[in-house]
Amino acid sequence: MQERPLILVTNDDGITAPGIRFLIQIMNTIGDVVVVAPDSPQSGMGHAITVDSVLHCNPITIDEGPQLEYTCSGTPADCVKMAINEILNRKPDLCVSGINHGANSSINVIYSGTMSAAIEAGIEGVPAIGFSLLDFDWHADFRASTAYVKNITLNALLNGIPEDVVLNVNIPKLKEDEIKGVKICRQANGYWKENFDKRKSPFGKEYYWLSGEFINKDKGEDTDIWALENGYISVVPVQFDLTAHHMIQKLNTWDL
């Protein structure tokens, strides 16, 4: 009898978030699932790790099911480190992160705790996928993504993901019959134009509330933003070698 794959599940919205609960159900149909996820929301944490305080990681039961679950007091990246180094008795065959409540397309991949968990798994030599749904609502409906999430996961297990690469999957907020399919994309060239709303507390102290507008500078039809705006699920292979290789030759001409 063939051994079922060992799948590590994590996220950045917290272990009780509907997105991760939905993802666990799908992964239970594919392999043996171990969940290690933050005990509270960690959205926008990027690749932060805990270095100046203790970490707590405890077993927990939230839903009935065959999965084993642990809550971690740290960041999404901490969760992956704890899982691989302390909890699991062997390296997982795959790490899936999400399903995130909200987009992680374009430059959002830099800020995303969801994708940072996947990237941390990749750094540890574990194939990884980050899943996100373009709906920030806590009660978002994830059902339309079921077949796609399962198919992408099965393909990753069958075909493998190259070392030093993880997959960033974003799903439009559409009904199942409205999703046109899957597009393999590049990351769109965009950025956030921030606004800091300056306010005063009832005690007269000034504080700021961050808001902003996403600016898409990229008009290409091969980007994740284009795919999502046109009804497709986007899949972007992300590498975590940040070297600008095209700049090396030019830097060698500098008088250093």
Q: Which of 81, 120, 93 is nearest to 6 (CA)?
A: 93
Tokens linked to 71:
């809550």
Q: pLDDT tens across 38-83, in order?
A: 998 888 778 888 888 999 999 999 988 899 999 999 999 999 999 9
d(CA 190, CA 243): 19
What does DSSP assign to residue 85?
I
Q: Which of 136, 124, 130 is nearest to 23 (CA)?
A: 130
Considering the chain, what is the average pLDDT of its residues?
Answer: 93
d(CA 66, CA 64): 7
Q: Please check whether residue 129 is in contact with residue 169, taking contact to mean a CB–CB distance below 8 angstroms.
A: yes
Kindly list the domain boundaries of the chain, sorted by start residue: 6-187+220-251
Q: Are strands 6-10 and 206-216 parallel, antiparallel or unpaired?
A: unpaired
Q: pLDDT tens across 88-131, in order?
A: 999 999 999 999 999 999 999 999 999 999 999 999 999 999 99
Residue 57 CB burial class (10 angstroms; 0-12, 13-18, ≥19): middle
pLDDT over 80 (residue 214): no
Q: pLDDT tens across 6-18, in order?
A: 999 999 999 999 9
Q: Are strands 165-171 and 128-133 parallel, antiparallel or unpaired?
A: parallel
192: Cα within 13 Å, side-chain hemisphere: 14
pLDDT over 60 (residue 1): no
**pTM for this prediction:** 0.92
Q: Please check whether residue 152 is in contact with residue 169, taking contact to mean a CB–CB distance below 8 angstroms.
A: yes
Q: pLDDT tens across 223-252, in order?
A: 999 999 999 999 999 999 999 999 999 999
Please give the pLDDT value at position 215.
80
Residue 2: pLDDT band (50, 70, 90) is: low
Q: Residue 182's beta-bridge partner residues? A: 233
d(CA 124, CA 129): 14
Residue 256: pLDDT band (50, 70, 90) is: very high
pLDDT over 50 (residue 196): yes
Q: Which of 25, 182, 21 is nearest to 101 (CA)?
A: 21
Q: Please check whether residue 196 is in contact with residue 205, taking contact to mean a CB–CB distance below 8 angstroms.
A: no
The fold of the 6-187+220-251 domain, in CATH, is: Stationary-phase Survival Protein Sure Homolog; Chain: A, (3.40.1210)
